[in-house]
Structures are given as structure tokens and as C-alpha cells.
Structure 1
Amino acid sequence: MSIPSWVWIVTLVVVVVVFAFDLLVLGRRPHEPSRREVSIALGVYIAAAVLFGLGVWVFSGGQHAGEFFAGWLTEYSLSIDNLFIFLIIMAKFGVPRKYQQFALMVGIVMALVMRGIFILVGAAAINQWSWIFYIFGAFLIYTAVKLAKENIGHGEEDDEDFQENALLRAIEKRFPVTQSWDHGTRLRALENGKRVLTPMAIVVIALGTTDLLFALDSIPAIFGLTQEPYLVLMANVFALMGLRQLYFLLGDLLKRLVYLGLGLAVLLAFIGVKLILHALHENELPFINGGEHVPVWDIPIWFSLGAILVILGVTAIASLARTRGKRRAAARRGEPQD
């Protein structure tokens, strides 16, 4: 897939304009969005992603279109998992509802910039060393096992907490921070003649750095579905574009996706296996099969896309069935429901 320079430039300009417009609007008019507002915006972003995928199909064929859709769905599902942590961060820092959109937007912009750097590094590494797929695959399988262990036996009533990372602790130690939300969406303010960071600054750093940690899983995962940097970038852009709307639209529904963690573990394990099979298929390491390609099945993109849809579908159906069953049981016992 050959992408002309002008397409890259136009794409990046459009992305910057869209995010800049969002930031300016939210910065001037912070508010808690209505369900209608987020539903329309989310519908527009999803429609734009589908149209983009169809455009890839028309201009580059079904193979690349399938890679984009598989990557977009994977990034979207992993991003939904991020929302659990975002909810915890918002609660921990007591972010007023009317400021949460702005906090999410700035955090998402930071995440997109950092993911762009990850994508450039990952693409360069893949072009230079084909054996990097072994590392990506092993890392995803390790992550999948770890995620599955964390979710097995994890009850809905378990309390989760957000632990500040080293960067946040260093910033709070080095710079004075005010605890007042009177400064709204500003990141810095003047208090008692001193420049201080606002709670909004700490929140957006928490959101951005937390998403960066999630990118350690998602970027290798999408490279397991497509090695085209342009498609990798656009899958991430469209996934992050709808993340803010999903946060407000889904709300408590997120708590009903009780098997999401297990579903994502299966998804990451599948992509990890796919990466290792691809690495064996393209093998150049001298200590494996004498440096020759290993005749294994290189999973095609149509199979990957189908597997992703099945995994996510089963996860959603099983989760909703489980929570519905628990609600009915609680109702029969006369217990209050959420």
C-alpha cells in the first residue's frame, strides 16, 4: 500500500483541525453533554470510520480494508477497557461533570501524539528487524494471560483504585498544585502571587499517561493485523475520536460488561498467536529452522476479522446475560437494584 505524501499531509491537517475545534469549543463552553449530543457525535465518528474503510476498499482493495476494520475494532474494544480507568480517575480527582469532556479531550490528544510516536518507532522496527514479531507476539500472549488471571474471580463488587504513576508524583512534588476547581479548564493559574498547576492539569496528565500504558498492548496488537503505518494511525485516530462520547453514552453500562477483561484477554492471545505464526512464516533467525521460513499457516485477515467479531460479540452477549440474570435473581429476593 503506497500512500502519497499529500495524502499524509491532508490526513494530518484534518485530524488536527477536528481535535483543535473540539478543544476550542469545549474550552469556551464546558458542559455536561446530553445523551442526544453524544449519540449524534458518536454516530458521525463511526460513520466516518466506516466510510474511510470503504474508501480504502475502493482505492486499495479488500485486503487493506479488512486490515483497517480489524484494527479499528480491536483498538475500539481496547479503548473501551480504558474507560473503566478513566471513570476511576475522574472520581478520584473529583472532576465536576461539566469539565469532564475537556479533561477527556486533552488527555485523548496527548494519547494520540504519544501513540503516533509509538507507531513510527514500531513501523521502523518492523522494517528493520522481522524477528520483532516474535517479541510482539510473546508480549501479547503474556499480557493476555496476565489479564485473564486478573479477571478470573474478580467480582463486580471489588473496589478498584487508581494509583498515581511516578510522573504524576514527580510533578506534584516539583510544582505547586491548587486543589480548587474555580479555575475551570485552565491548566495553570495565579494564586497568592504564585503560578500553580490546576487540578485539570493533573487530571489530563493522568489520563494521557494512563492511555500511554494501554498503548503498550494496543500498538503491538494492531501491528499484528496490519503492517501499514497509515492504517495503524487511522485505526487509532478513529478509536480515540469516539472515546469521549462513549464515556458519557455508556456510563453505568460499562459495569455490565463483566466479561470484557476475559474477552480482551482472548483477543490479545489470538493476535499474539497470529503474530508468532507470521514471524515463523517469515522467519530469518538462524537458530530457528536454519534461518529458513517455517511452513505454518499465516492467518489471513478475513479470518482475523471474523474472529474479532465473534470474540467481541460473545463477550458482550455473555456479559449482558450474566448481569440480567443477577438482576432478576436480586429482584426475586427483593433486593434493591442499581
Structure 2
Amino acid sequence: MEVPMIAWLSLVVILAVVLGFDLLVFGRRPHEVSFKEALTWSAVYICLGVAYSFVIERWLGAQATGEYLAGFVIEKSLSVDNIFVFAVIFTALGVPAIYRQRALLWGVIGALVLRFIFILLGSTLLESFAWMIYVFGAILLVTSWRLLRSGAEHVDPAGNPVLRLLKRI
């Protein structure tokens, strides 16, 4: 299915407005986020995602809407593990509770930007070179093998070069 450029542009504009609003209005004053507040904002973002399905239905029809909602549900399901990853990272790095909201927002923005870049790069490579699927598959297999062999090694985050660079900034 060919998605019109206006649909992509509207999605990017809506994301930029929502993230900008979150960053500039709600992220201004660092504070410890309560469970109720986190639940409320999660519901707001889920409702915005579902509301966008009505825009898709209007522009592209029921088939595209079903595909969007299926992807939306899968993405939400898969992103639950990110909560635990961020909790482990925040605890390991000793991020104070009042700064976790801002750190999380910047983490999400960074993840969205990197995901966008990798999807564009990966799809371009796959479209241009069909054999790249084997390269990507090999990367996944090697990564899986390394994860299986590494066991429960203790990793010292203080030795991470990225963390040292970020601490200087």
C-alpha cells in the first residue's frame, strides 16, 4: 500500500507538537511522577494514537486503519519491556526520581529518531540489495549467540565510554 506523503507529514507534525508540548509545558519543572500521573499520561498518549486511526480511516480506508491499529497494539505490547529497561538503567545510574521524567522523554525522542534512521536505512538497503536480508539475519544470529554465551556477567556502567562522554556534557 502506498501511503500519501501528507499522511507521513501529518504524523511527524503531530508527534513533534505532542513531544514539544510534553517537553516545554509538562517537563519544565522536574518532579517525582506519581503512579496516577504516569497512568493518566499513558492513557492520554494511547488515546491520541487511537484517535489518529480515525484520520487514517478517513484518508486511506478500513484496510489501512486495521493495519495501523494492529501495528499500534503490537508496538504497545513490545514497548512494555522498555519500562523495565529504563527502570534498570535509572537505578544503575542513580538518576534521581525528580529527573527521570525528563530523562525518559529524551530517551524516547532519541529512540524515535534512531528507529526512524534505521528503518529508512534498512528498508533502502533491502530495496536496493535483496541479499542484505541474509546480512541482517546473520547480525541477529551473531547477536543472539553472544547474548546466550555472555550469561550473567556484571557490567560496570562507569566504564562505558558513552556514559563518560555524557557526564562531561
Using the size of structure 2 for normalisation, the TM-score is: 0.75
1:26–1:101 Cα contact (<8 Å) kept: no
> How far apart in 2 are the matches of 1:85 and 1:160?
17
2:112 matches 1:120:
no
Q: Work out the CA distance in 2 between the residues paired with 1:144 and 1:60.
A: 38
* Percentage identity across paired residues of the two chains: 37
**Which 5+ residue runs of structure 1 have no aligned equivalent?**
178-195, 198-338
- Tell me if the contact between 1:88 and 1:161 (Cα under 8 Å) persists in the aligned partners: no
* Distance change >3 Å, CA 122–CA 170, structure 1 → 2: closer
Distance of 1:18 and 1:31 partners within structure 2: 20
Deviation string, structure 1 residues 260-282 (Cα, Å, up to 9, x no partner): xxxxxxxxxxxxxxxxxxxxxxx
Map residues 144-223 of structure 1 onto 2, 5 A cutoff. Answer: 163-164=156-157, 168-169=160-161, 172=164, 177=167, 196-197=168-169
Q: Give 1:276-295 correspondences, 5 Å limit.
A: none
> Taking structure 1 as the reference length, what is the TM-score of the superposition?
0.41
Whole-angstrom CA distance in 1 between matches of 2:23 and 2:57: 32
Return closer, same or farther for 1:47/1:28 CA change in 2, 3 Å cut-off: closer
- Distance in 2 between the 1:116 and 1:59 partners? 23
Q: Which residue of 1 aligns with 2:74?
A: 74
Instruction: Give the AA of the match of 1:106.
Output: W
Q: Following TM superposition, by how much is the alpha carbon of 1:106 offset from its aligned partner in structure 2, in angstroms?
A: 0.9
Match of 2:87 in 1: 87
Counting only pairs closer than 5 Å after superposition, residues 250-289 of structure 1 correspond to structure 2 as none
Name the count of aligned residue pairs.
168
Question: How far apart in 1 are the matches of 2:63 and 2:133?
Answer: 20
Structure 2 residue aligned with 1:59:
59
Determine the C-alpha separation between the residues in 1 that align with 2:30 and 2:49: 27
Matched letter for residue 39 of structure 2: S
Q: Secondary structure at the match of 1:28?
A: coil
Residue aligning to 1:9 = 9
**In 2, distance between residues paired with 1:144 and 1:64?**
34
What are the superposed Cα offsets for residues 124-164 of structure 1, whole Å, 9 maximum, x if unpaired? 12322344445556666x489659969xxx9xxxx886554
Larger Rg: 1
Letter in 1 for 2:42: L
Q: CA deviation at 1:116?
A: 1.2
Bigger helix share: 2
Once the two structures are TM-superposed, the CA of residue 121 in structure 1 deviates from its matched residue by 0.8
Q: 1:2 to 1:116 in 2, by over 3 A?
A: same
Q: Does 1:98 align with 2:98?
A: yes
> Whole-Å Cα distance in 2 between the matches of residues 97 and 46 of structure 1?
24
Larger mean Cα displacement after TM superposition, 62-71 or 32-41: 62-71
Return closer, same or farther for 1:133/1:26 CA change in 2, 3 Å cut-off: same
Q: 1:165 to 1:17 in 2, by over 3 A?
A: farther
Quickly say closer, same or farther: Cα 1:130–1:56, change in 2 above 3 A.
farther
1:160-209 deviations in Å (ceiling 9; x for gaps) = 8655498x41562x68x4xxxxxxxxxxxxxxxxxx53xxxxxxxxxxxx
Give 1:51's aligned amino acid.
A
**Closer, same or farther in 2 for the Cα pair 1:135/1:76, shift >3 Å?**
farther
Is the contact between residue 57 and residue 65 of structure 2 (CA under 8 Å) also seen in structure 1? yes
> Is the Cα contact below 8 Å between 2:92 and 2:157 reproduced in 1?
no
- Superposed CA RMSD in Å reads 3.5
Between the aligned partners of 2:59 and 2:161, the Cα distance in structure 1 is: 48
